[in-house]
Amino acid sequence: MSRAQDSPFEGRRVLVVGSDDRATALVNALGRDGIDATLVESAPDAIATLDAVDLDLLVVVDGAAGRPADVFGAAARRGHRLPGVFVGSKSRALPPGVEQAPAGADAAASVIRQRLLAAAADDATPAVEDDSLATYGRTVSHELRNHLNAARLAVDSLEGPTMGQAREALDRLEALADEAETVATGKVDTTESVSLADAGAEAVDRVRAPAASIHVDASGTVQADRGLLTLLLENLVRNAAEHGAEDGGVTIRVVDTDAGFAVVDDGPGFGEENPFTWGYTTGDGQGSGLAIVERIADAHGWEIVAGGEEGARVEIRT
């Protein structure tokens, strides 16, 4: 481990799992920033280190033995539910709370610094207690970083089809900023007739859930802000995919109802608490996805109801 004096990251510790020169270069880059970084080569070594030392972040470099999701999953099963970063150039299915960073050591170190600074801010005493908008701001910040990382991955080569990927990521960033502003104010200024099939298809495209079976069966239309409707469906589908089954093998459907539309799944369903409460989660997420759904529904003047005897069902009555 190495540490620089007078570092803003003093006391923050990172575990890097990797077995090649890229992992070594990343540890050296973190050391130059004054971050304590320990390098191990395998998942068993990572678990042993997590058991012995208090750490703030788990980093897995592509090429380490096993799938990255297996390393993060093994840590979670041992009770180590700390945030994670996967470093690699190819998109991989990652568990909740883990974001992807570009493969370059300096770019990956930048993402890791952001995660550590965010953790330091979360540890600080809040100026205002129970500020749901602040919670939403952190959620949007995390989402923006994910899309910025996608842009970095594409711009690294600056030629060919990757430029299209960069433009799509940047377009999504702009849309997210607009959506965040609208959700924060709780007001929708203009609406249009939006196809549920089109909004549902776009929402599903944003969700990485290869083990889930997702079907958009709705064919109706609703008066809505198109971007916010898509964001609402995206959060419902992602929530069902992440919490529907331990192995991710859940069936999710977007369907029409007499009063509007619904998203249903065949997973374990909700607990006894109100699932729309900020911070409510049945897993390792931030517990903000369904709260955002409720805020979007309220902004449109819609009624939202959660339930389901077999699985989970969230119905939007327009």
pLDDT band at 69 (very low <50, low <70, confident <90, very high): confident
CA-nearest of 261, 244, 156, 153 to 198 is 261
Q: Where are the beta strands (DSSP E) in the chain?
A: 13-17, 36-40, 57-61, 84-87, 98-101, 192-195, 213-216, 221-224, 251-256, 260-265, 303-307, 312-317
Q: Are residues 225 and 306 in the same domain?
A: yes
pLDDT tens figures, 218-240: 999 999 999 889 989 998 998 88
Residues 37 and 115 grouped into a single domain? yes
CB 305 within 8 A of CB 315: yes
Q: Which helix (H) or strand (E) holds 76?
A: helix 68-77
DSSP, res 224: E
Does residue 308 carry a pLDDT above 90?
no
Alpha carbon dihedral 66, 119, 176, 266, in 10-degree steps, equals 50
Query: DSSP letter string over 30-42?
Result: HHHTT-EEEEESS
Q: Which of 170, 202, 227 represents a domain boundary (last residue)? A: 170
Would you say residue 179 lies in a domain?
no
Q: Do residue 105 and residue 201 come from a single domain?
A: no
Span 35-64, average pLDDT: 90
The domain in which residue 140 lies consists of 13-170
pLDDT of residue 284: 46
Are residues 156 and 65 both part of a single domain?
yes
Count: domains in the chain: 2
- 213, part of any domain: yes
Cα separation of 233 and 240, whole Å?
A: 11
92 and 220 fall within a common domain: no
The model's pLDDT over 253-281, given as tens digits with 9 standing for 90+, comes to 999 999 999 999 988 777 665 566 544 44
Q: Which of 40-54, 91-105, 140-154, 176-190 has the highest mean pLDDT?
A: 40-54
> Are residue 269 and residue 198 in the same domain, yes or no?
yes
The domain that holds 282 is classified in CATH as 3.30.565.10
- Statement to judge: residues 47 and 149 lie in one domain: yes
